[in-house]
Structure 1
Amino acid sequence: MRIGLLTEGGYPYASGEAHAWCDRLVHGLTGHDFEVYALSAEPRQEALPRYELPHHVRLVHSAPLGDDVPAGRRRTREPRKGRTPGRRERRRFAESFGALVSAFATAPATGGPAGGTPHGGASADDPPAVPAGAPDRSVTSKADRFASGLYGLAELAREHRGLPALLRSEDAVRLLESACHGPHALPAAHGAQVDDLLAVTAGLARALRPLSLDWYGDGRAPGLGGVDLCHATSGGAAALPGLLAKHFFATPLLVTEYGVRLREHYLARAASPLSAPVRALLAALQGALAAETYAQAALVTPGNTHARRWQERCGADRARLRTVHPGMDAAPFAAVADAAADDSKTLVWVGSVEPAKDLFALLHAFAEVRRAEPEATLRIIGGVGRDPQAPGYLAHCRALAAQLFPDEAADARTVGENPVSFEEIGSPEVPSLEDAYASGAVVVSSSVIEGFPRSLVEAMLCGRATVSTDAGAVCEVIGGTGLVVPPRNPRALAEACTALLGDPDRRARLGAAARARALELFTVEQNVAAFRGIYLELISHAPARPAACPGREGVPPQPFARPAESHVPGRWAATDAAARAAVPAGRTPSWALPAQEPAAALPVPAGAESGGAAGVRDVRQPVRWGATGDPTGATGVKEAGQW
């Protein structure tokens, strides 16, 4: 089948674990053809390093989410080339954009399915969105208005290439202003000023950029209209092309989220310098888009229970949720020896240094560990994270370590050393990631915000015992193979580390159990096998679409009309061709008949038992049973092809 792989963030042009997962998935499913549709914030994405693509990746489309879409990626279908939006287009835009804005910029009458403020809107204490006696504006009606506006804009973009200009026009600002200052607007949006409205319309134009791309075709030309299945590797902008393919061509949509995009948006907006009205409106837009994605997806595959709870909170149907753990390559860690029952006193932390990792708590906890284990050392291995505050946070961590642990020297002639070291992967001391985990007796994680803890899985694959804080999917990943403590509790973290450092046998048992659990649940093979089954399941339930299985003109499409043997070269293909040629005129071949049709009801041509004029026996003729209970002919000789 043809799979449209929808990505955001750069695959196949960028690097990182999320993109490496896409690469492993494509290389693992060699029985399908892939078409990659990549969205990126980078204006020159094609100049970035690119993964080596296998032969069954038929094409790669890429487009930035910037302000300008290159001319080669715009839709070319329009009433008149070069024509500016006319009165009819502006009226259609006003209707669709007004419905879209009124859906996400207004507060629901209740807290919604999440029971709170999933879209940055009203809480349970807010006044009703409608006066007494008026029709209830339920969450369902808001979702319908959002869908109507979204697909209305998409249809306008299919006919006219001026949608990006309309999204930034004065008409868009006026419609947004009317919704923000209306009686049912989000409380945070009431104070929106002109600068805020301009910032929101710019964010809307960026978020809806996929509507104006030429990725969809007409069901016959190459594009998402001709694929059998759309697989969005994240929510948000990556899933939007899949929603349009579902709307225009009834293409099934599969959404995989290993890090919930809406959660990431909330975290990013909380630290942004934007005003409160802008943050609230853009968060409401992303929440409404996530709800529409979950409603239209044939199946949503979260990577862990933590992500699954977020999706359910945003309205996803439990019946269409299926947890599929991320697949990680276990081969590089196979050479790391199991944790030996020795007297090593080294703690290792591996990851990207940023405030969410709470290294301050780890350093204070290590100060307690040193009182119980004076020979203990701590290695912090990792570079600066993507958080804008990460460089300054790393500098503060180094200063705190120097303050808590002055350099120690054995005597007056030796150079003092700090028991805490800051290192990076690739340095002479830590040439590879496997060396980082192998250098420690216990691997520590102190995060206060965490999604799927990849570093803990890597430590488990290396057979290392772990001490981690209860954040994100940590408990789900660790199971009973490590110690878990509350976050922001240095004392509990220190006690757990001290307990494992003082018990080598326990470390060895936990490390062996951790490796067995990781190899059972979190390998590439498990992940690829799960998606292989999901692809076949979804396509088996999808209706026959002309774009996916076209027939002859005037003849409806017939999926699986040819037997599998007809595609096999050699004697099977020749036998199939000979059998087709031998079918009498006007007779329906046996392989084209429904399997449930009784064989006794089929017509049998004269002379079929003895070979007939054509010399081909009908294999669907009822079997005759002899006196001995064996299928035989009248002469007691078994006839070929009767079983």
Structure 2
Amino acid sequence: MRIGLLTEGGYPYVNGDAGLWCDRLVRGLGHHEFDVYAFSRSEVQEDGGWVPLPPQVGRVRTAPLWTTEDDGVVYGRRARRRFAEHYGELAAVLCTSDPGPASDSAVPGAGPGTEGTTPAPAEADRFTGALYGLAELARDEGGLAAALRSETAVRALERACRAPRVLPAAREARVSDLLAVAAHLHEALRPLSLDWYEEDGLGAVDLCHAASGGTAALPGLLAGHFFDVPLLVTEYGVRLRTHYLTRPDSSSAVRSLLAAFHGRLTAETYRRAAFLTPGNTHARRWQERCGADRAKVRTVHPGVDAAPFAEAGESPERADPRTLVWTGRVEPAKDLVSLLHAFAGIRAAEPGTRLRIIGGPAGPEGAAYLEHCRALAARLFPDGTGHPHAADAGPVSFEELGGPELTGPADAYAAGAVTVLSSVVEGFPTGLVEAMLAGRATVSTDVGAVVEVIGGTGLVVPPRDPQALAQACVSLLRDPERRVRLGAAARARALELFTVEQNVAAFHDLYLEVVARTPVRRVRLSDAGDPLPFAAPVEAHLPGHWAGLAPHRPRRTTPAWARATQERGPSPSRPTPSPTRAVTHPVPDATPVPATEAAR
């Protein structure tokens, strides 16, 4: 089977989201062939290069979403009229009806501005007609980027906002708001201008697998529109929810119009997808409230490599029975302040207890938060704290992985008898699964998918409640037999539900089910219009490069804004490709090399 893996800001880049999951999926399905279609988010990400790619990756095609260059395509009169018609229709739909998935009270974690109902069928048809009309225009004319940045686009938005019976927020849009919305739509619709939608591109794959919703799924929608290629969408974090909870400083007009666009794009993605695979029940509820058909949804938990945690999991007695461990990226959402206040209560009840905070800061905000936590710990525990070496530390130590004592996450969990998670926001808690694989008893806050992951194998307390957190930790510190029982049960649960093997097997089964349900494609016609049943030989569907098996269609010129990626070079280990094929990277055969942890 040939699979088109669609990513945004992730695989195959070293510094990317969900890169490790994608790499394990590709390596675990070595009997399939993968073509990777990747969007990059920044020049820094591109300069960081790629993870080592296994032989089953046939090629990689990339395009940046962060550049502002136009494609240089000049439209004639007819093309300008087509663009104004389709873009104007798109703008009118965004201004005339509320796209939100549900009320605030019905959607878990929704913020202000998400009120509304699932789009009506007529409005959904208008949106999809405009979207695919723009895609066909881009395909016919060679690009769309210049038109999306033109005055015509801004004028169309202005007319839509000034039309009768529009939403109040849209009617209040100022010129600066219109320019902001037009710029965002330009970025979101840039994938329409790519030359990926050809017979030898996404038209040649058997299945598109989008590693997230939103922009990453848009090429899959177009592959389905032009070639009837089925689409599978994986969302470990629902992208629509992210759009609702961002841009808090924007005007109500900008938030309303962009929420309308992303809400309708999500609705179309969910409608066209053969299957949706959320990573947990929390994400599944969001998808269903955003219009996903429940019959299409299959929960597939992220997989964690169990091998590094085997030694710690099989020898729980080696852990220090009076040490608590917190590990992860240091940032405000982890609420280490509540953890430190809770530890003050733990220390009062059990004076010999120590807390090891293991992890580095997540960006400048995380670095500032780490310094704040160090200062708080120094005030709460003046008898000594914060030394980088655990042996010399006081009650609280702040450490990072990578030293001789803490070479990896397994060493961090093995350092203590109880692992603590104190977050106020959490998606799928991968660190909690690692602690379970290490056979550790856990105390966690009830956020995200924590309860779903823990089951009955750990203690769960409300977030931002230091007293409850302290009481739960003290109860485990005082009961070693209970710690052992919970740790063993947690390890058994994690090995059954959350390993890489379980994840890969689930996607393998879904791939087969999707293709089995998909009608036969690539029907060739003679000059008279009659079907030619044997025009595409059977071997055309086998992994490999078979010449002369499909009629050649001239490829459109690669857009200039996509060429910029290739000219800078995607990876230090690869030669600079020709600018005329700047979005295609042939991948040579190579011995599989495990991805680095930086791929996370």
2-structure distance, mates of 1:243, 1:110: 21
Change (3 A) 1:552 1:2: farther
Q: Counterpart in 1 of 2:343?
A: 366
In structure 2, C-alpha distance between the alignment counterparts of 1:27 and 1:110, rounded to whole Å: 38
Match of 1:338 in 2: 315
C-alpha distance in structure 2 between counterparts of 1:23 and 1:361, whole Å = 36
Q: What does residue range 182-201 of structure 1 map to in structure 2 within 5 Å? A: 182-201=163-182
CA distance in 1, matches of 2:253, 2:348: 50
Deviation of the 1:316 alpha carbon: 0.2
Instruction: Work out the CA distance in 1 between the residues paired with 2:280 and 2:145.
Output: 37
Q: 1:306 touches 1:473 (CA, 8 Å); kept in 2?
A: yes
Match of 1:383 among 357, 360, 378: 360
Counterpart residue identity of residue 363, structure 1: L
SS at match of 2:316: coil
Question: Which residue of structure 1 aligns with residue 53 of structure 2?
Answer: 53
Partner residue of 2:433?
457
d(CA) in 2 for partners of 1:266, 1:111: 11
The Cα of 1:26 is off from its aligned counterpart by 0.6
**Distance between the aligned counterparts of 1:46 and 1:29, measured in 2?**
26
Specify whether residues 138 and 320 from structure 1 end up closer, same or farther in structure 2 by C-alpha distance, changes over 3 A only.
closer
1:447 aligns with 2:428: no
SS at match of 2:245: helix
- Residue of structure 1 equivalent to 2:230: 252
2:242 aligned partner: 264
2:16–2:45 contact (8 Å) kept in structure 1: no
Alignment of 1:209-608 (within 5 A): 209-217=190-198, 219=199, 222-270=200-248, 273-336=249-312, 337-340=314-317, 344-386=321-363, 389-408=365-384, 417-546=393-522, 555-557=531-533
Moved more, 113-122 or 361-370: 113-122
Structure (1 or 2) with the greater helix fraction: 2
Q: Find the counterpart in structure 1 of residue 132 from structure 2.
A: 151
TM-score calculated relative to the size of structure 1: 0.77
Supply the distance in 2 between the matched residues of 1:168 and 1:472 (Cα, whole angstroms): 39
**SS of the counterpart of 2:321?**
coil
Question: Post-superposition shift, 1:138?
Answer: 5.8
- Please report how far the alpha carbon of residue 559 of structure 1 lies from its aligned counterpart in structure 2 after TM superposition: 11
Partners of 1:97 and 1:329 lie apart in 2 by 47
2:19 alignment partner in structure 1: 19
Distance 2:319 2:210 in 1: 47
The structure-2 alpha-carbon separation of the partners of 1:32 and 1:465, relative to structure 1 and needing over 3 Å to count, comes to: same
Matches within 5 A, 1:62-211: 62-68=62-68, 84-108=74-98, 123=115, 139-211=120-192
Deviations 1:189-230 (A, max 9, x none): 34322122111111111111111111111x2xx200111100
**How far did 1:69 drift?**
5.7
Question: In 2 relative to 1, CA 489–44 (structure 1 residues): closer, same or farther, beyond 3 Å?
Answer: closer
Q: Contact (CA 8 Å) 2:15, 2:48: kept in 1 or not? A: no
Q: Deviations over 1:161-204 (max 9, x none)?
A: 35111111112112222333444444443432212211111111
Counterpart code for 1:383: G
Specify the code of the residue in structure 2 equivalent to 1:365. A
CA gap of 1:453–1:558, structure 2 versus 1, over 3 A, is: farther
Q: Aligned in 2, Cα 1:113/1:250: closer, same or farther, shift over 3 Å?
A: farther
**Equivalence for 2:28:** 28
> Does the Cα contact within 8 Å between 1:544 and 1:559 map onto a contact in 2?
no
AA of the residue aligned to 2:33: D
Deviations 1:574-608 (A, max 9, x none): xxxxxxxxxxxxxxxxxxxxxxxxxxxxxxxxxxx
Deviates more, 1:536-545 or 1:50-59: 50-59
Cα offset for 1:121? Answer: 5.3
Query: 2: distance between equivalents of 1:233 and 1:342?
Result: 38
Q: Deviations over 1:58-80 (max 9, x none)?
A: 1100111023469xxx6xxxxxx
Inter-partner Cα distance in structure 2 for 1:188 and 1:308: 30
Conserved 8 A contact 2:319-2:414:
no
Cα deviation for residue 268 of structure 1 reads 3.5
Q: Matches of 2:183 and 2:369 in 1, distance apart?
A: 31
Task: Tell me the SS of whatever aligns to 1:356.
Answer: helix
The one-letter amino acid paired with 2:82 is R
* CA displacement at 1:115 relative to structure 2: 8.1
Residue 51 of structure 1: how far off its partner (Å) = 1.7
Contact 2:423 2:463 in 1 (8 A): yes
Specify the code of the residue in structure 2 equivalent to 1:256. Answer: T
SS in 1 for 2:62: strand
Cα distance in 2 for residues equivalent to 1:486 and 1:119: 20
In the aligned structure 2, how far is the partner of 1:15 from the partner of 1:235? Answer: 19
Q: Residue 319 of structure 2 contacts residue 415 of structure 2 at CA under 8 Å; is this kept in 1?
A: no
Helix, strand or coil for the counterpart of 2:6? strand
Partner of 2:581: none
* Alpha-carbon distance change, 354 to 185 in structure 1, aligned in 2, over 3 angstroms: farther
Change (3 A) 1:350 1:408: closer
Secondary structure of the structure 1 residue equivalent to 2:212: coil
- State the match for 2:596 in structure 1: none
CA distance in 2, matches of 1:471, 1:462: 22
Counterpart Cα distance in 2 of 1:47 and 1:83 = 28
Q: CA deviation at 1:364?
A: 1.1
> Which protein shows a greater Rg?
1
Which amino acid in structure 1 is aligned with residue 329 of structure 2? S
Alpha-carbon separation, structure 1, partners of 2:525 and 2:260: 44
Q: How does 1:618-633 map to 2 (within 5 A)?
A: none
Residue segments in structure 2 that go unaligned for 5+ positions in a row: 386-390, 543-600
Q: Aligned partner of 1:425: which letter?
A: L
For residues 1-20 of structure 1, the aligned pairs below 5 Å read 1-15=1-15, 18-20=18-20
Instruction: Give me the whole-angstrom Cα distance separating, in 2, the residues matched to 1:255 and 1:421.
Output: 42
- Residue identity in the other structure for 1:196: D
Amino acid corresponding to residue 19 of structure 1 in structure 2:
G
In 1, Cα distance between the equivalents of 2:494 and 2:89?
A: 48
Where 1:11 maps in the other structure, the secondary structure is: coil
Q: CA deviation at 1:90?
A: 1.8
* Cα drift, residue 493 of structure 1: 0.8
Return 5+ residue gaps in structure 1 as ranges. Answer: 75-81, 127-136, 410-414, 568-643
Q: Distance in 1 between matches of 2:505 and 2:167?
A: 45
Residue type at the aligned position of 1:61: R
Q: Is the 8 A contact 1:341 1:508 kept in 2?
A: no
Question: After alignment, is 91-100 or 207-216 more displaced?
Answer: 91-100
Tell me which moved more, 88-97 or 456-465: 88-97
**Deviation readout 1:31-81 (Å, 9 max, x if unpaired):** 1111000011123654323222122211100111023469xxx6xxxxxxx
1:490: Cα distance to partner? 1.2
- The alpha carbon displacement at 1:382 in A equals 1.2
Q: Are the structure 2 counterparts of residues 9 and 123 from structure 1 closer, same or farther at C-alpha, using a change threshold of 3 Å?
A: closer
Alignment CA distance shift 1:557-1:25 (3 Å): farther
Amino acid at match of 1:528: V
Q: How many residues align?
A: 531
CA distance in 1, matches of 2:518, 2:267: 22
